Amino acid sequence: MLVRKTTENEQELFLRTLTAAFGVQHQPPAEGESAWWAALETDRGLFAVDHDGAPVGTAGAYTFELTLPGGATVPAPGVTTVGVLPTHRRRGVLTSLMRHQLGRFREEGETLSVLLASEAVIYRRFGYGPAAYSQRLSLDSHRSAFAVPVGTQGAIELRRRADSGELLAEVYDGYRRTQPGALSRPAHWWSAGAGRPPVSHTPRHIALHRDAQGVPDGYASYSVAGTDPVTQTRTLTVDEVVAADDAVHDVLVRYCLDHDLVDTTVFANLSPDHPLRWRLKDFRAARTSPSQDSLWVRLLDVPRALTARRYAAGGELVLEVQDPFLATTDRYRLTVDGQGDAVCGPTDRPADLTLDISDLGSVYLGGTAPSTLVRAGRVRAHHPAAPARADALFLHTDRTPHCLHWF
Ligand SMILES: CC(C)(COP(=O)(O)OP(=O)(O)OC[C@H]1O[C@@H](n2cnc3c(N)ncnc32)[C@H](O)[C@@H]1OP(=O)(O)O)[C@@H](O)C(=O)NCCC(=O)NCCS
């Protein structure tokens, strides 16, 4: 199967091939809205082509930065627009695209790549593991009282998405640098309205929080649906609440819960260990969806990736990392000092743990315990102390990884 780069003038063909793979029609955006694909990077697009030169599969990548535990950021190509025509499935087309794409990422010197998966069974074979998770939480207004009141010195201003792009971009950028698992949203995403609300230009209300000096430091993006004809109730859906400071975050959550003429408030994307349930007087009031995988991580340069993040404690661990898709098995010694900074390099010492590269991706952001993967039979511990030692190093220090960005 031949894989080639897409050219500047092939975007229509690319989108038509992709949407056919998903079984939907390629539609121009509705009036007043923007195209989800407005930030596609043509120079990172790939076509898999049939023997007659016709495209049968697509893959692309966005240029993002990913925040790691400890606050460092690394470049992170975000794999996207993956599809294979229904007429050409299960013949290795995706495998060819992934091999080509990972090869290019490695030539370009990338440390890791990330994606959001349509199905959980697709990407592990290519070395990706689920590393951050998300949950939908809904609350009935009459059961949403907080146990402890919240407040800030600042104030909330109500705005429209259409007038707020630059403010949102600025607040989001401050937030994502503090949040492991968060991705950057490049400026052209906001200006072109790519992706989903509030980055897209779909109309939204914006509750913007300003601190006591008037500086924007948080926002909630939300919409209120019309009255449900059957239940006669109204639902407010919050796309995202973004604030680096927990108090600002909580004030914005309270604002959403206190909206008049709303029976239920839905928070579409929260971290599964978000403290909101613990804020409530009625612990059972929150209805949560099962926790779902959001961001998947694929390490491409293990020593560089492992030294880029910080760790919860000092210690040492030898990892034998198997990467069947790239046909490698390597052993690395990870040594973390008392400040949580690491050095990592090849070693011939005996391994503490043997694990697949996808499982290393899962533990990398600190949201999955290595011991859980040992108990699940995915990771092999070579002595009884190894799982706890790995947990002490890898698990997050302050915040669980979380990714709000859709791509
Ligand atoms: C998912 C998709 C891209 C797979 O493409 P493909 O060319 O059929 O994949 P391949 O033939 O390279 O499959 C490689 C392996 O993955 C398995 N696989 C691929 N997609 C799978 C799926 N959806 N469910 C279960 N297994 C899958 C194949 O069975 C094959 O297994 P094997 O190596 O044991 O034989 C294609 O089915 C598709 O376009 N689906 C709809 C759009 C979509 O979901 N895109 C992904 C967006 S994140």
Ligand 1 centroid to Cα of residue 260, in Å, is 46
pLDDT for the residue 396: 78
CA separation for the pair 7, 274 (Å, rounded): 43
Note the pLDDT tens digit of each residue in 180-198.
Answer: 999 999 999 999 999 999 9
Active site residues: 123, 407
Confidence category of residue 403, pLDDT binned at 50, 70, 90: very high
Pocket test for ligand 1, best of 90, 91, 100 (most atoms within 8 A of CB): 90
**Has residue 44 got a pLDDT over 80?**
yes
Confidence category of residue 253, pLDDT binned at 50, 70, 90: very high
CA separation for the pair 311, 392 (Å, rounded): 8
Whether 394 and 62 have beta carbons less than 8 Å apart is answered as: no
Strand spans (E) along 54-147: 55-67, 73-84, 112-116, 129-130, 133-140
Instruction: Give the mean pLDDT of 294-318.
Output: 97
Q: How far is CA 385 from CA 266, 310, 371, 390, in A?
A: 42, 21, 10, 9
pLDDT for the residue 32: 86
Q: Residues with Cβ < 8 Å from 357, sequence gap 6 or more?
A: 127, 129, 298, 299, 302, 321, 322, 323, 325, 326
Note the pLDDT tens digit of each residue in 125-151.
Answer: 999 999 999 999 999 999 999 999 999
* 245's tokens: 């400071």
- Going along the chain from its start, the domains and CATH numbers come out as 2-110 (3.40.630.30), 135-291 (3.40.630.30), 309-394 (3.30.1050.10)
For residue 115, which atom of ligand 1 is closest to its CA?
Answer: 48
Q: Which of 267, 274, 252, 278 is nearest to 151 (CA)?
A: 252
**DSSP codes, 147-214:** SS----SSEEEEEEGGGTHHHHHHHHHHHHTTSTT-B---HHHHHHT-SSTTTS-S--EEEEEE-TTS
Helix (H, G, I), strand (E, B) or coil at 37: coil
DSSP state, 72?
Answer: -
**Has residue 397 got a pLDDT over 80?**
no
Note the pLDDT tens digit of each residue in 357-380.
Answer: 999 999 999 999 999 999 999 999
- 185 by Cβ neighbours in 10 Å (0-12 / 13-18 / 19+) ranks as buried
Give residue ranges with CB within 6 A of ligand 1.
Answer: 21-22, 82-84, 89-95, 117-119, 121-122, 125
For residue 23, which atom of ligand 1 is closest to its CA?
Answer: 41
Q: What percent of the chain has pLDDT over 70?
A: 100
pTM above 0.75? yes
pLDDT for the residue 325: 98
pLDDT for the residue 342: 98
Confidence category of residue 398, pLDDT binned at 50, 70, 90: confident
HSE value, Cβ hemisphere, 13 Å, CA-based, for 379: 31
